[in-house]
Amino acid sequence: MGEFSSRDASRSEAWEHLASRGLHSSWLLAIDGLISILFGIAAVVMPVAGALAIVWVIGTYAAFIGVVMVVVAFRLRTPPPVAVAVA
């Protein structure tokens, strides 16, 4: 307990971004907390479904990042166009 996960880090970064844009509100925090409580209860009541959901999230994330990395690799491999000076 008391560990700080990457999910918590991304959530706090999102709240900092909202606060910097003037969108920070206590009712948004309350909704975020309520959703977290509901998902926590669902994970306790249905642990197999919770584990399966985590597997799907990780798999989807990995597939997305893989596609992004392939696209970036091809963009880095392709040389930039050479400008030709016209006299």
Supply the range of the domain harboring residue 12. Answer: 6-77
Structure tokens at 73: 């690799």
- pLDDT value for 63: 95
Structural domain includes residue 85: no
- Predicted TM-score (pTM) of the model is 0.48
Structural domain includes residue 19: yes
**What is the overall mean pLDDT for the chain?**
78
CB atoms closer than 10 angstroms to residue 18 = 14
Structural domain includes residue 84: no
Structural domain includes residue 86: no
Tell me the C-alpha distance between 3 and 5, whole Å: 6
- pLDDT value for 48: 93
Structural domain count, the chain: 1
- pLDDT value for 21: 62
Structural domain includes residue 41: yes
Structural domain includes residue 28: yes
Structural domain includes residue 32: yes
> Among the listed ranges 7-11, 16-20, 44-48, 61-65, which one has the minimum average pLDDT value?
7-11
Structural domain includes residue 82: no
